[in-house]
Amino acid sequence: MYRVFLFFVLLPFISCSAQSNVKTQAVYSDQQGSSGPKLVVGIVVDQMRYDYLTKFYSRFGEGGFKRLVENGFNCENAQYNYIPTYTAVGHASIYTGTTPQSHGIIGNNWYDKYEKKSIYCVDDGNYKSVGASDGGRKSPARMVTTTVTDELKMFQNQRGKVIGISIKDRSAILPAGHSADAAYWFQGADEGKFITSSYYRDELPAWVNDFNNSGKAQAYLDTPWNTLYDISTYTATIADDNPYEGVFKGKDNPTFPYDLKKLKKDNGNFNLLKTVPAGNTIVKDFAEAAILGEKLGQSNTLVDFLAVSFSSTDYVGHKFGVDSKEIEDTYLRLDRDLAEFLTFLDKNVGENAYTVFLTADHAAVQVPAYLKELKVPAGYLDKKGFTAALNTFLKDRFGMEDLIENFSNNQLFLDKAKIAKAKLNIHEVTQAIVDEVINYEGVYKAVSAKTLQETHFTSGILALLQEGYNQKRSGDVLLIHEPSVISYSKTGSTHGSGYSYDTHVPIIFYGNGIKKGRTSRYIPIVDIAPTISNLLGISFGNGTTGRVIEEVIQRD
């Protein structure tokens, strides 16, 4: 009788527990079983402005950008919500779902005020190069928060594979996260092959060696770069021969065609491949080889993640500018690469078995010299003149020179030891610098670290600067240039600011679990990672400040 009584007393609890377990298993099954994606592919196009989508749209084929836009979800007003807009910072922010304030990647290079030297974001002397004699001593250690890829690895108890691929080391390493199976990048110069770091593995897998020995890199380097279509049809950009573009060594002018075989010796041999559209194509080829070699997307119970970054777009933009025939041709060729890659995914993973997002790590400014010809306010900041004027001011005001320990990434690092020895007040010195340099030509805003620590900016460009300020790593005085004013050469484009020409980028979601649609509401870049995490049913990165883009996800 007691057992019967106990059974009926415990029955509701047993039932609730069973329902809870079933629900948990159902969520896991829906997100990671046959109805969810088997593979997530994150695509970052380096230096892609949003208006490249609209500017070249009529020239795109049906299978690349148009396929993603028309059959996926297009976020038309996606913006970077911090300064600085650099490559490493962008890739870290996309995949961590937070800004430099939290993830710690404040530049490609930055001045380390503890080690008293400039450091590179993914350099790590604790590891060795794998696949080459040099170029592989890297890791993601300086990124201090987790990525969506890390969270996926932990959710699946280190099962399922995560791989990062790019021409650039930082663009492969940071997206792949801390727990990745591998990250591969292209070693140029006389190597011409994909390599990795002993952080991931002690030797290259057979499929990577096979790819490196295939002769693809040499074949692309020996193929002339001419326009994909008749150059007379390239009406979305300015004249091919103009004074706003850089010129390859060994060539007299920036015009098509480019004889790469002839130019390679004077332009770094295989480094030249990085700076032309074929650099994107070989990354696409390598990504396909990775899918086959690692059997990505073949499990019915696990999700794999492939992070691919196309970086040659950035090299072309820096060299030739955003209005060049070269940039137009680069995007028409990338569109063709994307079409081939999506078709490859259809065939080898399954038409509704994968999810893709495509975005950019930053955009780019139009060449200021060109803007000035159009009577648009623009210009160049003279860094040497700026430094000389500031040192003169400091000598007159405080009786000392060389109080600036380092000036980089629009940040001033003060020599605190020298200031303390002179019994000066550090905050008085920084505020004096702020009050002085705001008067210099090309400077729009100047703010001290103390102000950023004590004041909360909720809007405007200072709010973006604050999101990019990392108290442990950033400088003592931070500067913002006037719009379209850069510290760069008089030819080609660059980036780094918080203005819309640098912050407005595409975000497109496509594939399994994604609605068809569009939105023009403001969406910060940090919303990508939590949206993918929500789609997969996994934890957000431990520093996430972004939010789920609700309208993107198909709720069955």
Domain final residue, candidates 434, 466, 486: 486
Asked whether the predicted pLDDT for residue 2 surpasses 70, the reply is no
**CATH number for position 407:** 3.30.1360.150
Q: What is the pLDDT of residue 17?
A: 36
Closest among 187, 190, 182, 138 to 163, alpha carbons compared: 182
The 8-class DSSP code of residue 526 comes to: G
Contact 473, 21 (CB under 8 A): no
Would you call 145 helix, strand, or coil by DSSP?
coil
Q: Give the number of residues written for the chain.
A: 556
Residue 96's SS3 state is helix
In sequence order, what are the residues at sequence separation of 6 or more whose Cβ sits closer than 8 angstroms to the Cβ of residue 136?
127, 128, 129, 130, 187, 195, 196, 197, 198
Q: Is 93 a member of any domain?
A: no
430 occurs within a structural domain:
yes
Across 374-498, the runs of DSSP E, i.e. the strands, are 379-380, 404-408, 411-414, 443-448, 477-481, 485-486
Q: 306 with 296: CB under 8 angstroms? A: yes
Q: Which amino acid is at 555?
A: R
Pick the catalytic residue: 24, 54, 85, 87? Answer: 87
Q: What is the mean pLDDT of residues 90-115?
A: 98
CA atoms lying within 13 Å on the CB side of residue 171: 26
pLDDT of residue 358 exceeding 80, the answer is yes
DSSP letters, 42-67, are EEEETT--THHHHHSGGGS-TTTHHH
Specify the pairing of strand 477-481 against strand 411-414: antiparallel
The predicted pLDDT at position 35 comes to 83
Question: Residue 281 to residues 159, 311, 499: CA-CA distances in angstroms?
Answer: 30, 11, 31
Task: Evaluate whether 49 touches 322 at the Cβ level (below 8 Å).
Answer: yes
| 87 included as an active-site residue | yes
Q: In the predicted model, is pLDDT for residue 1 greater than 60?
A: no
Last residue of a domain, one of 429, 452, 486: 486
- Which one of 459, 486, 513 terminates a domain? 486
User: Stretch 99-108: mean pLDDT, rounded?
Assistant: 98
- Single-letter code of the amino acid located at 60: F
pLDDT of residue 555: 86
Looking at the domain assignment, is residue 42 inside a domain?
no
The amino acid that residue 50 corresponds to is Y
Compute the mean pLDDT over every residue in the chain, rounded to the nearest whole number. 94
Pairing mode, if any, of strands 129-130 and 193-197? antiparallel
What confidence tens digit (pLDDT) does each residue in 309-347 have?
Answer: 999 999 999 999 999 999 999 999 999 999 999 999 999
Asked if residue 6 has pLDDT above 90, the reply is no
Instruction: Say if 104 falls within a structural domain.
Output: no
Q: How confident is the model at residue 3 (pLDDT cuts 50, 70, 90)?
A: very low
- H helical segments located in 301-365: 312-320, 325-348
- In eight-state DSSP terms, residue 138 is B
The predicted model gives 207-229 an average pLDDT of: 98
Instruction: Phi first, then psi: give them for residue 85, nearest 5 degrees.
Output: -95, 80
The answer to whether the beta carbons of residues 172 and 287 sit under 8 Å apart is no
The H or E element that residue 134 is part of is: none
Helices (H), 244-301: 260-263, 271-274, 278-293
Cβ-proximal residues to 97 (8 Å cutoff; 6+ apart), any chain: 148, 526, 527, 528, 529, 530, 533, 540, 541, 543, 544, 545, 546
503 CB neighbour count, 10 Å cutoff: 23
The answer to whether 130 touches 203, Cβ cutoff 8 Å, is yes
Per-residue model confidence as pLDDT tens digits over 380-432: 999 999 999 999 999 999 999 889 999 999 999 999 999 999 999 999 999 99
Q: Provide the 3-class DSSP secondary structure of residue 179.
A: coil
Which of 293, 81, 44 minimizes the C-alpha distance to 173? 44
Helix or strand or coil: residue 90?
helix
pLDDT digits (tens, 9 = 90+) for 60-93: 999 999 999 999 999 999 999 999 999 999 999 9
On the question of pLDDT at 302 being above 70, the answer is yes
- Domain presence at residue 409: yes
173: CB partners within 8 A, 6+ apart: 122, 138, 139, 140, 164, 183, 185, 197
Please report the pLDDT score of residue 401 as a whole number: 82
pLDDT band at 556 (very low <50, low <70, confident <90, very high): confident
pLDDT surpasses 70 at 307: yes
Backbone angles phi, psi at 20, to 5 degrees: -60, -45
Find how far residue 151's CA is from the centre of its chain. 19
3-state secondary structure of 479: strand
pLDDT of residue 10: 39
pLDDT of residue 117: 97
Calpha distance 106→110 (Å, rounded): 7
pLDDT of 129 above 50: yes
pLDDT for residue 27: 32
Q: Is the dihedral of CA 470, 475, 477, 482 positive or negative?
A: negative
Q: Which helix (H) or strand (E) holds 135?
A: none
Instruction: Supply the range of the domain harboring residue 482.
Output: 379-486
CB-facing half-sphere around the CA of 381: CA atoms within 13 A: 24
Nearest to 48, CA basis, from 286, 317, 263, 440 = 317
Please check whether residue 15 lies inside any domain of the structure.
Answer: yes
The DSSP secondary-structure symbol of 78 reads E
pLDDT tier, 26 (very low <50, low <70, confident <90, very high otherwise): very low
Q: How many C-beta neighbours within 10 Å does residue 17 have?
A: 11
pLDDT higher than 60, residue 47 = yes
In a domain, 472, yes or no: yes
Q: Position of tokens 């480019």? A: 258
DSSP 473: T
The DSSP 8-state label assigned to residue 379 in this structure reads: E
pLDDT by residue (tens digit) across 519-542? 999 999 999 999 999 999 999 999
Number of separate domains in the chain: 2
Asked if residue 449 lies in contact with residue 430, where contact means CB atoms within 8 angstroms, the answer is yes
Report the candidate in 318, 323, 362 with the shortest Cα–Cα distance to residue 488. 318
Single-letter residue type at 209: N
The span from the CA of 279 to the CA of 264, in Å, is 14
480 is a domain residue: yes
